[in-house]
Amino acid sequence: MRRLRELYARSRRLPVRFRIALVSAALTAVILIGFAAVVGRLTSNRLHNDFKDDLQTNATRIAGQNGRGLGLTEDSVVRVVYQTGVAVPGFDSSPVELGPPQPGTITRSGDLDVAAAPIVSASDSILGTGAPRFVQYARPETVVDDTINRLWLFLGGGVAIGTVLAGLAGMAVANRAMRPIAAMTAAARDIAATRDPSKRIPEPASDDEVAELARTFDQMLQELDAARTETDETIKRQREFVADASHELRTPLTSILANLELLEHSAAVDADEDDQAAIASALRSSKRMNRLVGDLLLLARADAGRTGTRSQCDLGTIASEALEELLPIAEGYEFVTDIERDVPVRGNADELHRMVLNLLENAVSHTPPGTKVELRVAVAGEQAELRIRDDGPGLPEGMERQIFDRFVRAGVPADRSRRSGTGLGLAIVRAVARGHGGDVAACNDGGASFTVLLPLAEKFERTIASA
């Protein structure tokens, strides 16, 4: 039973066309085997009966000729005998002993079937005493068996040929039936690869269930295309709103920051401690708001494909400047640098500076003081490699890709007092890296490790030219 279940499970893994062909061949084989068994059995019985009837007919015919004119064949045996089975003298009887005659009954003697008939019209001049005499006529049944064996061979061959033809026919029909489904599958794969729901599924010429399936898929794609268009328009409007709002907020925020800085400078001379604390708090909040607006504006520009002015710059120099900017607020951390000079990339220096600074701030804000942070800049083939690694607790399991999504925070920072991020830092890193023709990846390597790969300046120019 388990074997049958295993075979059934394996058959379910076969393609549909092969399963159809197998089912067609199996059903045909069952029908043909049943038909061959019935025909073979009926024919065998008929041949055996005809053989026995022929034996009895020949025995009766020879007995009617008084045992003369026997008309023997090579495989037949004829004897004229008494009731005891002893041969009657004067007849050309076979020397083969067939036993006592039993008229009307087919008996067996060795490999011979024997029929007997009485001689009822013999004259005394021929038969002598007039005692009952019988003719025995015998033939081997192997003659019929050979014919029956040939019949079974013929029927078996017919079953085999019929099964093969049924399987081939089933395969041909399945291929023809699966052709439109294969076309639909190819079209669906193309749509999945291109992510273009505006493409359509080819509809078969026949108006059947497959055509109905194709029409249903087309209707679904139309609805998905409409929903996608509507979603894209909504997202586009949202991005435009964020970009416009961020841009409009920059001017008043800059003015507020300038006024607060002047007020802080004045308050340092003639204001009491409470006023100075309030002014400092307002200034810190304004700086965080200004940075958030800057983050949103940068991401909005990246989403819209708008980039700032680009020129050739040295990634090593940018990384060194970002580290110098971070050092005053990163006391207690050990920084290890391996920065090559003359690592030329083509891009916006401010955006690249922001990218490196965000990665360094991420390492500091998610690890405790005393953590070692490694900063490495080098040329790797035709790419510039920036790597920042710490020996802290590392990334949460399964967050290696999600960590670059917007407003995602990986764990709780070691020092809550330094938690001033917006959840956009690593999203900006990815946006800047991809906007410059590169990418960023994260992994756990004795701590959190971030690697940015950017095309070198010459390769970037070739890429832009080919595009």
pLDDT at 417: 40
Q: Which pTM was predicted?
A: 0.51
Q: Identify the domain boundary among 275, 298, 321.
A: 298
In this structure, the answer to whether residues 452 and 334 fall within a common structural domain is yes
Average pLDDT over residues 12-22: 75
pLDDT at 317: 94
In this structure, the answer to whether residues 440 and 313 fall within a common structural domain is yes
Number of domains, the chain: 2
- The overall longest dimension of the chain from CA atoms, in Å, is 173
At residue 467 the predicted structure's pLDDT band, cuts being 50, 70 and 90, is very low
In this structure, the answer to whether residues 288 and 402 fall within a common structural domain is no
In this structure, the answer to whether residues 253 and 285 fall within a common structural domain is yes
Residue 128 lies inside a defined structural domain of this protein: no
First to last CA, the chain: 63
Residue 178 lies inside a defined structural domain of this protein: no
Average pLDDT over residues 126-154: 79
At residue 197 the predicted structure's pLDDT band, cuts being 50, 70 and 90, is confident
In this structure, the answer to whether residues 419 and 279 fall within a common structural domain is no
In this structure, the answer to whether residues 389 and 259 fall within a common structural domain is no
Average pLDDT over residues 273-288: 77
In this structure, the answer to whether residues 327 and 437 fall within a common structural domain is yes
Q: Identify the domain boundary among 270, 298, 326.
A: 298
Domain span at 335 = 309-466
Q: Show the CA angle centred on residue 191, arms to residues 174 and 199, nearest 5°.
A: 95
Average pLDDT over residues 303-328: 86
Tens-place pLDDT, residues 149-193: 998 999 999 999 999 998 888 888 888 877 777 787 888 888 878
In this structure, the answer to whether residues 256 and 385 fall within a common structural domain is no
pLDDT at 398: 79
pLDDT at 421: 58
In this structure, the answer to whether residues 425 and 334 fall within a common structural domain is yes
Ranges of beta strands (E only) in 54-163 are: 77-82, 107-109, 112-119, 133-140
In this structure, the answer to whether residues 289 and 414 fall within a common structural domain is no
Average pLDDT over residues 34-62: 88
**Do strands 344-347 and 372-380 pair parallel, antiparallel, or not at all (unpaired)?**
unpaired
Residue 316, pLDDT > 90, answer: yes
Partnered with residue 387 across adjacent β-strands are 376, 451
Tell me the CATH number at 437: 3.30.565.10
Residue 414, pLDDT > 50, answer: no
Residue 374, pLDDT > 90, answer: yes
Residue 89 lies inside a defined structural domain of this protein: no
Residue 35 lies inside a defined structural domain of this protein: no
Token pair, residue 147, equals 């014919």
- In the three-class reduction of DSSP (H, G, I as helix; E, B as strand; rest coil), residue 454 is classed as strand
**Whole-number percent of the chain with pLDDT over 70:** 83
pLDDT at 126: 45
Partnered with residue 143 across adjacent β-strands are none
pLDDT at 102: 85
Tens-place pLDDT, residues 417-455: 444 556 788 988 999 999 889 999 999 988 899 999 999
Residue 253 lies inside a defined structural domain of this protein: yes
Q: Show the CA angle centred on residue 133, arms to residues 111 and 81, nearest 5°.
A: 35
